[in-house]
Structure 1
Amino acid sequence: MKKSRVILTMLLSILLAAGIFVYYQFNKPHRDFAAEEAAYTLSAEGLVKAYQQDPSLSDSLYVDQLVAVSGEISQLKENALLLSPGIYLSLDSTQSLAALQVGQQVSLVGRVLSYDPLLEEVKMDNARIQN
């Protein structure tokens, strides 16, 4: 009887601890990208070349980091833009593309998500315009 009670108490304790952990993980505050400074500042060409030369090293340096990139806009979409030679930036919801034009030089800060070797594109999100 005592052995089963100890096992039941341990199981309930583990379930309670797991429940508390899950609750805090789902309710932790979101990362505020607007309040953060860029960890790295690169040209669009420099970031793409770094990924082409050594993707694993570049991933360890840049993924989930805020990076400031500057380059020429080659394409505008609804809430995203493409910097030449291959950086796809999804803009933060507070940003507008109204003042931007294809061919314009621009500096942006965004979080690096990944590199697509097939398209040779660096994907970034939560981007905001610097200039």
Structure 2
Amino acid sequence: MKKKIVLIAFIIIVAGATSIYFYAYKDHRDIARESADYVVSVSQMQTEFSTNDSLSYNKYQDKTIEISGKITAIDIESRGITVDEKLFATFKNALPKEISNGQLVKIKGRFLGYDDLLEEFKIDQTTIIE
């Protein structure tokens, strides 16, 4: 009887440890390969956030979004661009060399949030589409 209890306890411990391992070390998201959950414009997001910021935050938080707009600033040091003066997008690696101020772009990235102080949306893991 003791052997059965020890065997069952061992199986439960191994199964629990395996579950915890796979939960903690799951694969990282590859935003560049994901399809966009939402295709929006910066002005559309501004309208949604001004109407109901908590609902909009829950809608977009940690989702992959696709946005088209004009590059209004480039920050080489932080590997980021500003689109339509209201969205700051950081790239995982170095900035693409082909981008320039005033260029129209279509980008995709993971939505991080809205900065009330700067009145700016933030996305990361950005890639340029097209």
Q: Do both share a fold (TM > 0.5)?
A: yes
Gaps of 5+ in 2: none
Scaled by the length of structure 2, the TM-score of the pair is 0.79
- Unaligned stretches of 5+ residues in structure 1: 1-5
* 1:114–1:15 distance in 2 versus 1, CA, 3 Å: farther
Q: How many residues align?
A: 123
Task: Give the residue type in structure 1 aligned to 2:106.
Answer: S
Displacement of 1:20? 3.8
- State the distance in 1 between where 2:63 and 2:116 align: 19
Q: How far, CA to CA, are the matches of 2:120 and 2:50 in structure 1?
A: 10
Q: Give 1:3's aligned residue.
A: none
Write the deviation string for residues 29-78 of structure 1: whole angstroms up to 9, x where unpaired.
Answer: 11121221111111122123322221111112111111111111111012
Letter in 2 for 1:87: L
| Structure-2 residue corresponding to 1:71 | 69
Residue 88 of structure 1 corresponds to 88
CA distance in 1, matches of 2:33, 2:84: 27
RMSD of equivalent CA atoms: 2.2
Q: Partner amino acid for 1:26?
A: A
